[in-house]
Amino acid sequence: MYKKKKILLFDLLNKCKIRYDKKSTKNLIIESAESISSSNTNFIAVFHSLKYLDFLKKTKACTVLLNNNLLKYLPKKKNYVLSENPLIDFAKILNFFYPNSYYSKIDYKKLLETEIKKKYKYIKFGINFYLENDVKIGRNVFIGNNVTIKKGCVIGNNVIIGSNVIIENSIICDDVHICDNSVIGKKGFGFKFENNTCVRIPHIGKVIINKGCEIGSNCVIDRGSISNTILGENTFVDNLVQIAHNVVIGKKCILASQVGIAGSTHIGNNVIIGGQAGISGHLTIGNNVKIGGKSGVTNDIEDNKVVMGYPAKSFRDFLKNSK
């Protein structure tokens, strides 16, 4: 979906209007930008938090954007770009390589119904189906009315998609059921303010919904910014649930209605989350955790714990407190 563009680093930084330390920067050929963990040779990546130190040590990126405080963690001989606001600057660089990835637009080029019928013989679809180019769809797929599927998506076998569903930048695996009015793969809620101007963070990641999952009605699952938003096999999601960018959920989890998971939180396998519970961003929730309805989770949770409350604590403490 996204194209590589060869450009000299100095040209790139100038085009993006980035202020950087020129003395320490080497003028390499850059082909693209990605996360520090997935970047390839000739890529530029950003390093902005010690959380990603392990990735920094192994990154293939030919140069790394960072600020002065983090410079000491850089492996020797690795090239770098010093800037004061690496995250904002990296957003501008992503915008250069992946234009249009900070909005959610259609491309106004749909397949005709006859083309769809010829190319996708083993699917059924309702009225008013809007399908862009370059979409793979498996066999025995049922699609409702007024569905929009944008370019580059992959839909597996035996998938059922309800009416009014919108899917972009997503991989939907076999046996998944997505109910009416849900929005899958929209760009996430990411932006930074710089001198009173809003810089939107491009979202170049995907949503990956693995085999056997079910998504309720009126849900929103945002695609990742640089990495992906992932639901593990056989995870069940009820109605009106929000799953933010870069969230990773394990297998066989159950998310009841109106649950909200903030960005970049990772959830293990067999986790049960009660209705209206919310989980803050950037947390790690272990396997087999049970989170009571309406809980507000603000800290990591270890495997096998049962928590409830706001802020969430052990179920025993919750009961004690509530007396």
282 annotated active-site: no
If one asks whether residue 177 binds a second copy (CB under 8 A), the answer comes out as yes
If one asks whether residue 170 binds a second copy (CB under 8 A), the answer comes out as no
Q: Which of 270, 263, 218 is nearest to 243 (CA)?
A: 263
Position among 17, 108, 121, 195 found at the interface with a second copy (CB under 8 A): 108
Buried b (16+ CB within 10 A) or exposed e, 167-188: bbbbbbbbbbbbbbbbbbbbbb
Buried b (16+ CB within 10 A) or exposed e, 16-34: bebebeeeebeebebbbbb
Task: Decide: 315 and 297 in contact? Cβ < 8 Å.
Answer: no
If one asks whether residue 293 binds a second copy (CB under 8 A), the answer comes out as yes
13 versus 141: smaller Cβ distance to a second copy:
141
Position among 2, 10, 55, 310 found at the interface with a second copy (CB under 8 A): 310
If one asks whether residue 300 binds a second copy (CB under 8 A), the answer comes out as no
Q: Write out the binding residues for a second copy, residues 193-222 only, by CB under 8 A.
A: 193, 198, 212, 214, 216-220, 222
Minimum CB–partner distance for residue 170 and a second copy (Å): 13
Euclidean distance between CA atoms 63 and 193, whole angstroms: 25
**What's 69's DSSP letter?**
G
Q: Which of 32, 39, 81, 33 is nearest to 56 (CA)?
A: 39
H runs (alpha helix) in the chain:
9-15, 53-58, 86-97, 113-119, 315-321
103 versus 122: smaller Cβ distance to a second copy:
103
If one asks whether residue 99 binds a second copy (CB under 8 A), the answer comes out as no
H-helix or E-strand spanning residue 131? strand 130-131
Altogether, the residues listed in the chain come to a count of 323
If one asks whether residue 122 binds a second copy (CB under 8 A), the answer comes out as no
If one asks whether residue 232 binds a second copy (CB under 8 A), the answer comes out as no
Euclidean distance between CA atoms 134 and 321, whole angstroms: 56
If one asks whether residue 183 binds a second copy (CB under 8 A), the answer comes out as yes
Question: For binding to a second copy (CB under 8 A), which residues are involved?
Answer: 103-106, 108, 110, 124, 126-128, 130, 142, 144-146, 148, 160, 162-164, 166, 177, 179-181, 183, 186, 189, 191, 193, 198, 212, 214, 216-220, 222, 234, 236, 238-240, 242, 244, 252, 256-258, 260, 262, 275-276, 278, 280, 293-294, 296, 298, 309-311, 313, 322
Active site residues: 245
